[in-house]
Chains A and B, each alone.
Chain A
């Protein structure tokens, strides 16, 4: 059932920033009950996701759809009786998934925006004109030199443009 050595996946998660607390989970279901996404669709259940992860189901978790359906509302983390940082664990899982080449298109867009202009979304000419019309000060550009240095130091671009299937 588990892939690799037992606890490999769990250890990979707990050793990542954000994933440290996943092991405290005792499957009480509070996170699922309070999750706005889980209440709307059966495609997502945070308790189930954590269970899959703790049972070592690496492929299902990292290649699947569920980890991308968290809306980061933090209700789960707020109310978890074991102080599992559920939302942060999901970030950690997303970080791992991306390193293995599983990244939804929208995130590629965000990353591209960040890497090219230091912003999530580019500012259109239309908007720039409107700003002047409203008397708003012109936007200062992001310090791309500093940002690029930071991204290089964390290996961000290497994370982003990893080939599919390669392991971290």
Chain B
């Protein structure tokens, strides 16, 4: 039984319990034990980095310290958390001066970053600890060639020098994990481009225009759904379609589904166990297609 410290972040527990639910169910089925970290705070993603980079590094480091103390590696669901914590982990492990600076700050909270643990995204855990073969064996309800427009979002891949998760120009991991479930990861225009999510709240019009592009491209490629890893992406594309309807008077009815949900479904979890009513764009079409 492999154990990880589950790092939930802010947005998933606050807005997207369906993501958390699907992830917990799927990972547990696959034999991954998820331990909640006592006292974890926000990971200090871009909104906080915009205010102060040093504070953000310190907060991220603090959360890593909690995992170091629990002697567990971190498993992140939200790619924003993955990015923030991985970058902090990498920079502090590799740059002595920076580490000393941050540790001085952390000492005020009685902590010290040691660099003994890893931060992983749950996709990585699927590859490393479950393995593609075992995962395939566990798929009891293959997704019947569902056309999935895979959208990992920006922060799973970039900045690649620090994240080192997958090839930033030719990523394969996410697509492979979708296909293992029996679905098809289809090519579509500007697949790796941002959803514009982080502009919401400051320039909603621009954010919406960027999101719309994504929906249109997936739609034109005849996707059955867009699969996401980031709660911000989900929000932008799911809730976003409601705004697209009112602003652009266009309806695409493109279901947005977290990978964890697809994973859960393929592992045999019943739809009614998954809080699918949290989706603004209904996912009935998908459920029909996969039978």
Q: So, do A and B actually touch in the complex, CB under 8 Å?
A: yes
For the complex, is B14 an interface residue (Cβ under 8 Å from A)?
yes
Nearest B residue to A93 by beta-carbon distance? B50
Q: Complex: how many Å from CA A141 to CA B37?
A: 10
For the complex, is A69 an interface residue (Cβ under 8 Å from B)?
yes
Q: Which of B131-173 contact A (CB under 8 A)?
A: 154-155, 158-160, 168
User: Which residues on B sit within 8 Å (CB–CB) of A92?
Assistant: 53
For the complex, is B240 an interface residue (Cβ under 8 Å from A)?
no
A107 touches B109 (CB 8 A): no
Nearest B residue to A88 by beta-carbon distance? B53
For the complex, is B245 an interface residue (Cβ under 8 Å from A)?
no
Secondary structure of the B side of the interface?
A: helix
For the complex, is B250 an interface residue (Cβ under 8 Å from A)?
no
Contact A122/B108 with A36-B193, A41-B209 known, Cβ cut-off 8 Å: no
Minimum C-beta distance from A145 to chain B (A):
8
Nearest A residue to B18 by beta-carbon distance? A134
A136 touches B24 (CB 8 A): yes
The answer, among B11, B47, B210, for a CB contact under 8 Å with A40, is B210
Binds B, one of A24-32, A54-62, A110-118: A110-118
A37 touches B196 (CB 8 A): yes
For the complex, is A94 an interface residue (Cβ under 8 Å from B)?
yes
Binds B, one of A7-15, A45-53, A150-158: A150-158
Q: Complex: how many Å from CA A146 to CA B38?
A: 12
For the complex, is A106 an interface residue (Cβ under 8 Å from B)?
yes
Q: Which of B259-291 contact A (CB under 8 A)?
A: 275
For the complex, is B111 an interface residue (Cβ under 8 Å from A)?
yes
User: Which residues on A sit within 8 Å (CB–CB) of B11?
Assistant: 120-121
A131 touches B13 (CB 8 A): yes
Nearest A residue to B38 by beta-carbon distance? A140
A40 touches B206 (CB 8 A): yes
For the complex, is B52 an interface residue (Cβ under 8 Å from A)?
yes
Q: Complex: how many Å from CA A100 to CA B83?
A: 28
For this complex, 13 residue pairs linking A to B, each with C-beta atoms less than 8 Å apart, are A36-B194, A36-B213, A41-B203, A44-B206, A71-B194, A71-B199, A73-B194, A74-B159, A111-B51, A119-B14, A130-B17, A150-B55, A150-B109
Interface string of A68-84 (1 = CB under 8 A from B): 11011111011000000
- B residues sitting closer than 8 Å to A (CB atoms) are 8, 10-11, 13-15, 17, 20-21, 24, 36-42, 45-55, 57-59, 62, 104-106, 108-111, 154-155, 158-160, 168, 193-194, 196-199, 201-203, 206-207, 209-210, 213, 275
Query: What's the interface size class on A, roughly?
Result: 35 or more
Q: Complex: how many Å from CA A72 to CA B193?
A: 11
Q: Complex: how many Å from CA A167 to CA B49?
A: 20
User: Which residues on B sit within 8 Å (CB–CB) of A120?
Assistant: 10-11, 14, 42, 45, 47-48
A146 touches B21 (CB 8 A): no
A136 touches B53 (CB 8 A): no
User: Which residues on B sit within 8 Å (CB–CB) of A107?
Assistant: 47, 50-51
User: Which residues on A sit within 8 Å (CB–CB) of B109?
Assistant: 145-147, 149-150
User: Which residues on B sit within 8 Å (CB–CB) of A153?
Assistant: 58, 104-105, 108
Contact A154/B54 with A140-B36, A140-B37, A140-B40 known, Cβ cut-off 8 Å: yes
A137 touches B36 (CB 8 A): yes
